[in-house]
């Protein structure tokens, strides 16, 4: 089967001649449908740059990124806009909900743009809200919700169009530990029950331990890879911490 995402020899440079720095330095990997992948690495290692290239927000300097059979590094702006809407779901650290819309409306936006029938939209929103335990806040505005509720609304918005790939950048970064745990359990559910493919960037080992496979990056390069396999999440967390220690030399610096 074709992978959902194929990143091949991607490099991203910043700066001008003489002062060029490589934020992403020859990274290659593949993601299959239904994978839940974590990308870990210390601050400044290139995680966000890599994710922004995959999410079409930024452009690669060299290399190719193929999502669902389409090379996004060769697409024009108009085609990219449509591609982003149809194939990708986004979850950001700071939620990015629209303040003047209720949770229900925020989740429904993409379906409304697709001109789906109201009854169909209602069924879809209510089904995903139930899975993510946000039924009670559907009529609330973002300012009336907790951070954890807002992030689960953002997760519902990301999954509602059944995108090929969900991209999350530090999704637990602004959450307390209880809300983070609930969000990550939601990700697990979307991944297992809806076969959502998730690529999640985080510098946090607890957050990463919910993924099935972790790519560690350092100085823009893949440094190591871990598979959870049959390990419990707790054992996986301990293995992640071992790599984090190796990677940073100083755990506190990384966390």
Residues that bind Mg ion (CB under 5 A): 47-48
Does residue 136 belong to the site contacting ligand ADP (CB under 6 A)? no
Task: Name which of 132 and 198 has its Cβ closer to ligand ADP.
Answer: 198
Closest alpha carbon to 225 in 58, 43, 51, 37:
37
Cα–Cα distance, 235 to 221 (Å, whole number): 26
Cα–Cα distance, 147 to 152 (Å, whole number): 9
> Tokens 């003489």 — which residue?
18
Task: Name which of 43 and 245 has its Cβ closer to ligand ADP.
Answer: 43
Task: Name which of 23 and 97 has its Cβ closer to ligand ADP.
Answer: 23
Nearest approach, Cβ of residue 223 and Mg ion (Å): 16
Q: Show the site string, 20-39: x = touches ligand ADP by CB under 6 A, - = not.
A: ---x----------------
Q: Which of residues 163-192 bind ligand ADP (CB under 6 A)?
A: none
Cα–Cα distance, 205 to 239 (Å, whole number): 10
Piece of 26-34, 45-53, 100-108, 135-143 that binds ligand ADP (CB under 6 A): 45-53
By CB under 6 A, how many residues form the interface with ligand ADP?
Answer: 10
Closest residue (Cβ) to Mg ion? 48
Task: Name which of 44 and 69 has its Cβ closer to ligand ADP.
Answer: 44
Nearest approach, Cβ of residue 174 and ligand ADP (Å): 15
Residue 203 near residue 42 (C-beta atoms within 8 A)? yes
Cα–Cα distance, 189 to 141 (Å, whole number): 25
Other Cβ atoms less than 10 A from the Cβ of 118: the count is 10
Other Cβ atoms less than 10 A from the Cβ of 166: the count is 22
Residues that bind ligand ADP (CB under 6 A): 14, 23, 41, 43-49
């Amino acid at each position: 089967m074709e992978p959902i995402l194929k990143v091949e020899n991607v490099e991203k440079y910043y700066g001008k001649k003489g002062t060029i720095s490589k934020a992403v330095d020859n990274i290659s990997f593949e993601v299959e449908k239904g994978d839940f992948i974590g990308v870990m690495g210390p601050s400044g290692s290139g995680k966000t740059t890599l994710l922004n290239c995959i999410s079409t927000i930024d452009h690669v300097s060299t290399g190719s990124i193929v999502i669902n059979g389409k090379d996004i590094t060769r697409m024009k702006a108009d085609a990219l806009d449509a591609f982003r809407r149809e194939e990708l779901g986004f979850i950001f650290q700071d939620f990015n909900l629209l303040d003047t819309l209720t949770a229900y409306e925020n989740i429904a936006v993409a379906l409304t743009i697709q001109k789906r029938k109201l009854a169909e939209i209602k069924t879809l929103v209510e089904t995903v809200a139930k899975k993510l335990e946000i039924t009670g806040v559907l009529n609330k505005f973002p300012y009336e919700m907790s951070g954890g509720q807002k992030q689960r609304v953002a997760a519902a918005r990301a999954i509602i169009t059944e995108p090929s790939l969900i991209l999350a950048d530090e999704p637990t970064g602004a959450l307390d530990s209880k809300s983070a745990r609930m969000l990550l359990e939601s990700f697990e559910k979307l991944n297992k029950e809806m076969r959502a493919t998730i690529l999640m960037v985080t510098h946090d080992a607890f957050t990463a331990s919910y993924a099935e496979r972790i790519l560690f990056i350092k100085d823009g390069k893949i440094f190591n890879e871990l598979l959870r396999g049959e390990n419990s999440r707790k054992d996986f967390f301990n293995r992640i911490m071992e790599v984090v220690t190796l990677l940073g030399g100083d755990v506190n610096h990384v966390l």
